[in-house]
């Protein structure tokens, strides 16, 4: 039976972190928001609560249980959202204290997605409505880094994570995903400076003993519009930047980044698959298909609703996974990688973990399509 690398993103906010109290003062991470979830309108498919309870995901015993459940249902890679703000890491506890200290961590591969975006008030339920409706654009942290700070980040990633024996590699090259290229360019000050920084990063990875770096980019909708960047700097389109920076591979992070998600899940999937085909045929870097479980960020706000995917049942999610598997099978020259949003995005309603509405339904859908890891 063919094996696949089924990689689920982890939003590592469900554990105590002193810096996170600015958003979740009760000290239990974003569980504070999940606990307050409730329907916003008649027929709203909320609330969704975790069957496993409000566990501390920086506890290695908790992560041992989650690793067993994930691998038993065919999920064999965790992609950790990884953060760095104000010259220090943020929300590393789930990875460092939970996953890496779990006795069974070697059953699961991992890699990092550097979530280098700015942070405003959207994580703070008390103020999220103002952020979502544009009434308060306050910035808590900037995601862009200058060259000096980027080198600190790169060395930390190489030394602490690439060196892990279960770090996910393609052809021996550790995979590192960049979330926002425009923000990275902005921090560096220009396209040329950003290009230099990534060339340096690649060289450092080789110097550390690896055959190279698999630099992966989170892509958005393919359009002829230029990426936003430095005033006066001709940043270029997404497609042009993929070529210019010679990214090794591409994937998505969430359906909401590239299709209209305010529709039925099955209808959304038609546009998703069409975008896969564009990226697979017209970009030089390999594209790895992405499937989101759903989208509904209304739990983050007091009154905010926003776009909502409907009918994202485990059965329809399973159909989407089959199409992703078919895409991988049609590209045998690439790694058999599929990315999924996500393992635990409870406040965006896109999770694989068992819930009060569907039980283990989403995980069982993965298992039916891909088997056990």
pLDDT digits (tens, 9 = 90+) for 274-302: 999 999 999 999 999 999 999 999 999 99
Q: What letters, b where the CB count within 10 A reaches 16 and e where it falls short, cover 18-40? A: eebeebbeeebbbbbbbeebeeb
Token output for 278: 């564009």
Q: Quick one: CA dihedral 350, 352, 354, 358, positive or negative?
A: positive
CA-CA distance, 281 to 298, in Å (whole number)?
35
Could you tell me the fold of the domain covering 5-370? TIM Barrel (3.20.20)
CA-CA distance, 146 to 186, in Å (whole number)?
9
Instruction: Dump pLDDT digits (tens) for 126-184.
Output: 999 999 999 999 999 999 999 999 999 999 999 999 999 999 999 999 999 999 999 99
Which residue ranges make up each domain of the chain? 5-370
Q: What are phi and psi of 119, to 5 degrees?
A: -125, 125
Report the Cα–Cα distance between both ends of the chain, in Å, rounded.
12
* Cβ-based neighbours of 137, under 8 Å, separated by 6 or more: 120, 131
How would you class 229 by CB atoms within 10 Å of its CB: exposed for 0-12, middle for 13-18, buried for 19 or more?
A: buried
Eight-class DSSP state of 227: P
| Side-chain half-sphere CA neighbours of 141 within 13 A | 20
Q: How far is CA 154 from CA 84, 176, 201, 218, in A?
A: 11, 10, 7, 18
Please say whether the beta carbons of 37 and 108 come within 8 A: no
Task: Please choose, from the candidates 134, 92, 121, the residue with its C-alpha nearest in 3D space to the C-alpha of residue 24.
Answer: 121
pTM of the full predicted structure? 0.97
Please say whether the beta carbons of 182 and 227 come within 8 A: yes
Please state, as a whole number, how many other Cβ atoms lie within 10 Å of the Cβ of residue 336.
16
* Cβ-based neighbours of 222, under 8 Å, separated by 6 or more: 238, 239, 258, 275, 278, 279, 282, 283
- The tens place of each residue's pLDDT in the chain, 373 residues long, gives 789 999 999 999 999 999 999 999 999 999 999 999 999 999 999 999 999 999 999 999 999 999 999 999 999 999 999 999 999 999 999 999 999 999 999 999 999 999 999 999 999 999 999 999 999 999 999 999 999 999 999 999 999 999 999 999 999 999 999 999 999 999 999 999 999 999 999 999 999 999 999 999 999 999 988 886 565 567 889 999 999 999 999 999 999 999 999 999 999 999 999 999 999 999 999 999 999 999 999 999 999 999 999 999 999 999 999 999 999 999 999 999 999 999 999 999 999 999 999 999 999 999 999 998 8
Please say whether the beta carbons of 197 and 188 come within 8 A: yes
Q: Quick one: CA dihedral 13, 305, 142, 159, positive or negative?
A: positive
- Report helix, strand or coil for 250: strand
């Amino acid at each position: 039976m063919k094996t696949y690398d089924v990689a689920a993103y982890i939003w590592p906010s469900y554990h105590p972190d002193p810096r996170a109290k600015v958003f979740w003062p009760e000290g239990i991470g974003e569980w504070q928001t999940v606990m307050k979830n409730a329907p916003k309108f008649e027929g709203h498919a909320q609330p969704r609560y975790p069957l496993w309870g409000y566990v501390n995901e920086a506890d290695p015993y908790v992560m041992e249980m989650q690793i067993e459940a994930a691998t038993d249902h065919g999920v064999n890679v965790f992609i950790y959202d990884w953060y760095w703000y104000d010259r220090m890491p943020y929300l590393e506890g789930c990875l460092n204290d939970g996953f890496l200290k779990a006795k069974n961590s070697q059953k699961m591969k991992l890699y990092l997605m550097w979530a280098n975006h700015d942070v405003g008030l959207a994580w703070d339920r008390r103020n999220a409505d103002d952020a979502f409706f544009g009434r308060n654009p306050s910035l808590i942290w900037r995601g862009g880094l200058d060259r000096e700070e980027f080198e600190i980040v790169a060395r930390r990633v190489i030394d602490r994570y690439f060196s892990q024996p279960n770090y996910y590699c393609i052809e021996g090259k550790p995979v590192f995903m960049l979330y926002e290229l425009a923000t990275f360019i902005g921090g560096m000050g220009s396209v040329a400076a950003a290009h230099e920084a990534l060339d340096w990063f690649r060289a450092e990875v080789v110097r550390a003993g690896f055959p190279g770096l698999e630099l992966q980019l989170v892509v958005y909708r393919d359009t002829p519009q230029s990426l936003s960047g430095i005033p006066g700097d001709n940043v270029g389109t997404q497609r042009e930047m993929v070529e210019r920076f010679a990214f090794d591979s591409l994937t998505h992070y969430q359906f909401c980044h590239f299709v209209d998600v305010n529709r039925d899940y099955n209808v959304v999937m038609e546009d998703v698959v069409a975008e896969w085909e564009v990226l697979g045929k017209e970009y030089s870097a390999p594209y790895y298909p992405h499937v989101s479980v759903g989208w509904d960020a209304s739990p983050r706000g007091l009154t905010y609703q926003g776009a909502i995917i409907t009918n994202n049942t485990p059965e329809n999610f399973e159909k989407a996974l089959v199409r992703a598997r078919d895409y991988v099978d049609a590209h045998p020259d690439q790694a058999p990688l599929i990315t999924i949003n996500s393992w635990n995005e409870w406040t965006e309603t896109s999770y694989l973990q068992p819930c009060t509405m569907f039980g283990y339904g989403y995980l069982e859908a993965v298992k039916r399509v891909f088997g056990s890891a």
